[in-house]
Amino acid sequence: MSEITNFAFFFLYLTMVESLILTTLILSVLITFVSISSNLDRLAKKLLTTFFGCIALQAGIKYLGFTNPSIIHSYPFLLILPELTSILIPEIIYLLVLFTLGKKLQKNLYYKLAILPLLSIVLFSVFYIITSGFTTGNKYYVFEAFIGMMSLAFVANILFFLVCLREIQFAFTYRMKDLSKHNYITLVWIKWLLWLLLIRALFSLTFFTLQFLFAQAEWFPMVLSIQKTAVAVIILVALLLTAYYGLRNPMLFDTITETPTVEQTLAISILTPEVKKVIQKSIKEDDIVPFLERITASVEESRLYLKADLTPSILAEMVGLPVYKLTFILNKGAGKNFNEFINSFRIAHARALLENPEHNKMTVFAVALESGFSSEAPFYVAFKKLVGQSPSAYRNAYQTKVKQAG
């Protein structure tokens, strides 16, 4: 009787874990299509698509290991790939945090972030060659390679967890008024996601520590079952949290006009009924230009760009449009996101102030405030991006040009 009970428990365990991993795989693939079909900024779209793609790869290999272990036995390096993606995921989240906070991503940052993944690939490749494909004689070295990759993944999770948490906490403490509602929700979502991924990493570290010390103990198979189930549940919860945010945010689907693409059609099929109703009321192609002219006229005539607390929600309410439609019109019609669109007016106003001799004594900070910026740093970045010079350099160059012309 006990053997039958043990078999039933083992069968239920395998079924449950396999179902969790399969659900994770299906959701991650579908949400990848959601990210592809969104009208987010190009960089944000790439980051989200890569993030969900990594989760899909993890789930796919784990599902393959459950359903067809012989393939994993024939190609043991497949076991290492999920841990390689676990090194990439926290880095992707870090870039997403910086992007959400409006920080400029320099090329040297990408080079620095590439160090840990490249180091893991080099170490893995060297170990793979030395052990002749993880096999030397009758001994397999998959476990040792797995431990090495898992350790690097754990370091990456801890490091970027602390860095991301510091950036988010700083924004919530000192820059709350500068955050749009959408960016605030995004950062809260990322914060919870970071905790879930950290817990998953701690579970993995605990398991391998126990396996290294107590692999021969009688109670270890039960611990192994609990650990695998817990990790699978945590991965699924993290993905479901991400899906809840993504699938209930119509902004991800604001590229949809009259004829959805194949990716958009697939994405729409898994939306909640509430969001589907919103998507069905999308904008016609012919209405984009008139709506853009209406938005532009409202911003110029009321000089809304001079309001430092102007948000997409406030502007959308003033022009009588939902927020997601406003952002769609700006992206599709003007080729800009909300901040880029408003900053173009603010920088034009700042240039006029810098060119006016009556304002020569105004500091750059004063010009920034007069132009609608809440601080000097974002003003400097936006000005240099649009004009190609710093505000001070632009003022000096303009004054020199006037003197030479006179």
Q: For 203-216, write each residue's pLDDT tens digit.
A: 767 766 776 777 67
Domains in the chain with CATH codes: 2-253 (1.20.1070.10), 283-405 (1.10.10.60)
Q: Which amino acid is it at 325?
A: K
Instruction: Give the 3-state secondary structure of residue 60.
Output: helix
The pLDDT value recorded for residue 291 is 86
Residues in the chain: 406
pLDDT, one tens digit per residue, over 130-162 is 777 666 666 666 666 767 777 778 888 888 889
Each residue of 83-93: pLDDT tens digit?
788 888 888 88
Tell me the C-alpha to C-alpha distance, in Å, between residue 38 and each of 111, 258, 266. Answer: 28, 15, 12
* Separation CA 382–CA 109 (nearest Å): 20
Average pLDDT, integer, range 346-369: 89
Alpha helices by DSSP H, 101-219? 107-113, 115-130, 142-174, 181-214
Which amino acid is it at 18? Answer: E
Read off the tokens for 95: 């870039």
pLDDT at site 137: 60
Measured from the Cβ of residue 276, the count of other Cβ atoms closer than 10 Å reads 13
Residues 6+ apart with CB under 8 A from 296: none
Measured between alpha carbons, how far is 206 from 289 in angstroms, rounded to an integer?
58
CA–CA gap between residue 273 and residue 283 (Å, rounded): 19
Calculate mean pLDDT across residues 274-290.
Answer: 63
Cα distance between residue 86 and residue 50, in whole Å: 12
3-state helix, strand and coil shares in percent for the chain, rounded to the nearest 5: 80, 0, 20
Per-residue pLDDT at 191 exceeds 80: yes
pLDDT tops 70 at residue 2: no
**What are the φ/ψ torsions at residue 140 (nearest 5 degrees)?**
-100, 140
Q: Is the pLDDT higher at 40 or at 26?
A: 26
Name the packing angle between helices 115-130 and 81-100 (round to 10°). 170
Question: How far is Cα 171 from Cα 137, in angstroms, rounded to an integer?
Answer: 56
Name, in order, each residue with C-beta under 8 angstroms of 241's C-beta and a sequence gap of 6 or more.
189, 192, 193, 196
Residue 58 has a pLDDT of 79
CA distances from 322 to 224, 317, 328 (A): 50, 7, 10
Q: Which tens digits make up the pLDDT trace of 102-129?
A: 777 777 888 888 888 888 888 877 877 7
The position carrying tokens 């809304």 is 304
Query: Could you read off the pLDDT of 292-349 as tens digits, one per residue?
Result: 898 999 999 889 999 988 888 788 878 887 776 787 788 778 888 888 899 999 999 9
Instruction: Give me the sign of the Cα torsion angle 293, 373, 107, 97.
Output: negative
Long-range CB pairs of 125-133 (<8 Å, 24+ gap) are 128/77, 133/76, 133/77
**Predicted pLDDT of residue 342:** 92
Q: Which residue has the tokens 């400097």?
A: 380
The more confidently predicted of residues 32 and 93 is 93
What the block records as the tokens of 41 is 């900024």
Q: Give the pLDDT score at 195.
A: 83
